[in-house]
Structure 1
Amino acid sequence: MSDTPVPRRSLLRGLALGAIGAPLVAAFGAPSVAAAGTRGPFADGTLAVTVTNDSGAAGNDAVRLYVVGTDLATGAQAHADAGGNLIPVSLSDNGSDGYTDYSIPLAGSGDTTIALPHMSGRIYFALGDPLRFKAVPDGNGNPALAYPAGWVESDPNYPVLHDFFEFTYDGSGMHCNNTQVDMFGVPSSVHLVGAADQTTGTLEAGGRGRIFAEVAAQAGFGSLVLDDLRVIAPGHGIEVGRFAADYFDGYLDDVWSKYAGETLTVHTGGADRTGRVTGGVFTFDGAVAPISKPTTSDVFFCAGALAAPNDGLTGPVAAALGAGFNRSTLLASASQPTDDPAGFYATDPTNHYARIMHAHMTDGRAYGFPFDDVGGFASYIEDGAPTALHLTLTAFS
């Protein structure tokens, strides 16, 4: 296992919201479908991933998987088949309907096991209708893939019940998370076996319904519930006009005012960084880059002014600030990040979407915003010597 976790903000560096990646050259020679119950990694380095459909919302014959992402060797975009072959995305993959068909059907009954090659990406699962991924040229003219955007009504995948799991599987092991950063629609859990035995992402019984109901009832958040399909994250809600773009503005002003006259200490693991707001900018000691006042959108996306470069300097400070804003702890404590979840989401405004996700996980861990890994509260697990990965679509009710 690596000494430094691979959090979601760096897990999928090549994976952008609109189009990601590009082609890959090497193919992995795993069998076309791995037998259920097989353990890996296989001789070719692929890892056995066993998928169990306990959703109760659709039979195996109505569930499709899609393994898509980035070739770690080239940065090019590819998709994987059930046998673990990593296949370059090509514009010619679009069929007569204008979309690719990278789907992997589940076995007729019982578990389904596929082989996963070294790559960084997502495993999507769609219940009912198939997902429509479109091969498109990127900014450099290379083949890329337009991903589903379940928060955009004009997206062809909007009416499709779907969700996804994120991972990087490379020479240092499996690094993965069960994520709600973009949305939540299909409950699932991940079980990673290797040097350790770890499970995360498991909802409490009836958790899906409670999440939908509680988000719907939360003042200002109700429009994030899209029928019985999904709940979308507030940042995407801002993008599509379903959430207030100024939600955190007053809190941002209060934080900036507080630290214009008081010192904030950020514990980064490697060193403590102290900072104050000077001339409207948060300035820290050391080589930390000055941080401008973020917008509400920056807070929810942990981007813009809160972008966290993987530099060990500005990155950890920006991440701690992003977590403090979403958890609403920055006015309560001048020492960040705080580590007592009882103090998270305790005052308004706060990220109630993330709060509700955490509240209904059996281990209390969720990925309600991109910096939810700060302090170890995210549904993220890794193993340096993985032998099996199990994905379970858990019960809707």
Structure 2
Amino acid sequence: MAPRHQRNLTRRKMLFALGGAAVAVPAIATLTPYAIGGEAGTSAAGSLPVTIANNSGSFGNASVHLYVVGNLDGRQVRLTPEGTVVPIALSDNGADGFTDYAIPLAGSGETKLSLPHMSGRIYVSLGEKLKFKAVADGNGNAALQYPAGWVESDPNYGVLHDCAEFTYNAAGMFCNTTMVDMFSVPLSIRLTGEKDQTTGTLRDGGRSAAFTAVQRIEEFARLVVDDTRIIAPGHGLDAGLFPKDYLAPYIDEVWSTYTGKDLKVTTNAGTFTGRVRGERFTFDGPASVSFAKPSTRDVFFCDGNLAAPNDGTTGPVAAVLGAGFNRSTLLTDPAQPATDPAAFYRGELTNHYAKAVHAATEDGKAYGFAFDDVADFASYIQDTRPTGFTLTLTPF
């Protein structure tokens, strides 16, 4: 199967549909009632058994709060503690101005849910509940503002929380843990079906090792928020916590190097051959695509001058370039994407945040930036005939 950056469903499109403090618009989502204490709720046709396991060792089930949010028939919905799917309503906001959509875990042991076809996020918060705010979108419809743990003014900034993302439809189950915005709660996902797959699991001491590794790099040190989370460098840059020109010398060297020689980028569409011509990196091959010089922010967000439209040509090339910049492989390998992880993040100027979260996982896979799925290094799994999905809070 082709790497995800070469398919129509791109990680980046999902990411920007779901993420951030702005009003989010998840893909179509619906849920059936859940049951606690080990028995699944009423199953709908095609429903997928889901298990939530708290193996954190630091928080009891009573201190773990679960949220499932999504979209049904063009309306944003949420799952109530009673197991009912209801639309988001502005009246859901309480006296404090926020909703309380928390679903408690079972008193002990695992918690069971049943998911029909849907896409969305499962959030977990530890100790405190998350504050989702219902607001009116541009069309006057009720929508949610999602937690943005990388924004100091966000009401959830002090809350220990994280999430996993998934799409379950007639084609199968597609799911991932994510560190694209931040890294906080150790989570793993398991998917059973035609195969039995697990990803996202941290190695022993992996969380603290990641925090320490990021703190050791002067430019990245301010991204560590106590023992709560590490903020991704793009968000750190926007918050004034990270130098805006950090990658400029590396970007300039890439531009200079490929003024005099070719860079080859292979995608599903074929191999593109590129050189810098008149300040633009222009590629010929299956199509002609061209990029202006990106900024440090463009690289970390895989956006701006590295924006990747879902067009089958410019988009896949942009994704490979974005991965090459983040992994600092563009100067060492003129044939991209580079596929040897031993060659990733070797430069002094690199995405040390992504390097740290990859080093923290047992399988070396993580979603450290939006196109970390290039060459299959993201904490992403899929199955076309799924039989079960498990989200586990793993030890800190």
Q: Which runs of 5+ in 2 are unaligned?
A: none
State how far apart, in whole Å, the 1-side matches of 2:270 and 2:187 are. Answer: 37
Amino acid at match of 1:296: T
SS in 1 for 2:230: strand
Written as runs of structure 1 = structure 2, the 5 A alignment for 1:39-78 is 42-71=43-72, 73-74=73-74, 76-78=75-77
Q: C-alpha displacement at 1:81, in angstroms?
A: 4.0
Identity %: 56
Q: C-alpha displacement at 1:333, in angstroms?
A: 1.6
State how far apart, in whole Å, the 1-side matches of 2:325 and 2:289 are. Answer: 19
Tell me the matched-pair count.
Answer: 391
SS in 1 for 2:18: coil
Mapped pair 1:103 → 2:105: no
Written as runs of structure 1 = structure 2, the 5 A alignment for 1:82-161 is 85-161=84-160
Mapped pair 1:9 → 2:12: yes
Kept after mapping to 2: 8 A contact 1:178/1:366: yes
1:367 aligned partner: 367
- Aligned in 2, Cα 1:144/1:264: closer, same or farther, shift over 3 Å? same
Q: 1:324-359 CA deviation, whole Å, 9 max, x = no partner?
A: 000001111211111111110011200010011111
Kept after mapping to 2: 8 A contact 1:64/1:104: yes
- Aligned in 2, Cα 1:288/1:371: closer, same or farther, shift over 3 Å? farther
Mapped pair 1:376 → 2:376: yes
Amino acid at match of 1:117: P
Q: C-alpha displacement at 1:260, in angstroms?
A: 1.5
State how far apart, in whole Å, the 1-side matches of 2:274 and 2:3 are. Answer: 28
Kept after mapping to 2: 8 A contact 1:101/1:132: yes
Kept after mapping to 2: 8 A contact 1:161/1:185: yes
Q: C-alpha displacement at 1:37, in angstroms?
A: 6.1
Amino acid at match of 1:370: A
State how far apart, in whole Å, the 2-side matches of 1:262 and 1:370 are. Answer: 28
State how far apart, in whole Å, the 2-side matches of 1:322 and 1:215 are. Answer: 21
Amino acid at match of 1:301: F
1:170 aligned partner: 169
Mapped pair 1:352 → 2:352: yes
Amino acid at match of 1:266: V
1:19 aligned partner: 23
1:263 aligned partner: 262
Kept after mapping to 2: 8 A contact 1:203/1:360: yes
Kept after mapping to 2: 8 A contact 1:36/1:113: yes
SS in 2 for 1:124: strand
SS in 1 for 2:265: strand
1:325 aligned partner: 325
1:389 aligned partner: 389
Q: C-alpha displacement at 1:288, in angstroms?
A: 4.1
Amino acid at match of 2:13: S
TM-score (norm. length: structure 1): 0.93
Kept after mapping to 2: 8 A contact 1:23/1:87: no
State how far apart, in whole Å, the 2-side matches of 1:259 and 1:103 are. Answer: 52
Written as runs of structure 1 = structure 2, the 5 A alignment for 1:227-306 is 227-285=226-284, 286-306=286-306
Q: C-alpha displacement at 1:320, in angstroms?
A: 0.5
Amino acid at match of 2:35: V
Kept after mapping to 2: 8 A contact 1:11/1:167: no
TM-score (norm. length: structure 2): 0.93
SS in 2 for 1:354: helix
2:343 aligned partner: 343
Kept after mapping to 1: 8 A contact 2:172/2:383: yes
- Aligned in 2, Cα 1:262/1:51: closer, same or farther, shift over 3 Å? same
* Superposition RMSD in Å: 2.2
Amino acid at match of 2:92: D
Amino acid at match of 2:296: T
SS in 1 for 2:128: coil
SS in 1 for 2:326: helix
Kept after mapping to 1: 8 A contact 2:27/2:119: no
Q: Which runs of 5+ in 1 are unaligned?
A: none
Amino acid at match of 1:330: L
State how far apart, in whole Å, the 2-side matches of 1:315 and 1:32 are. Answer: 39
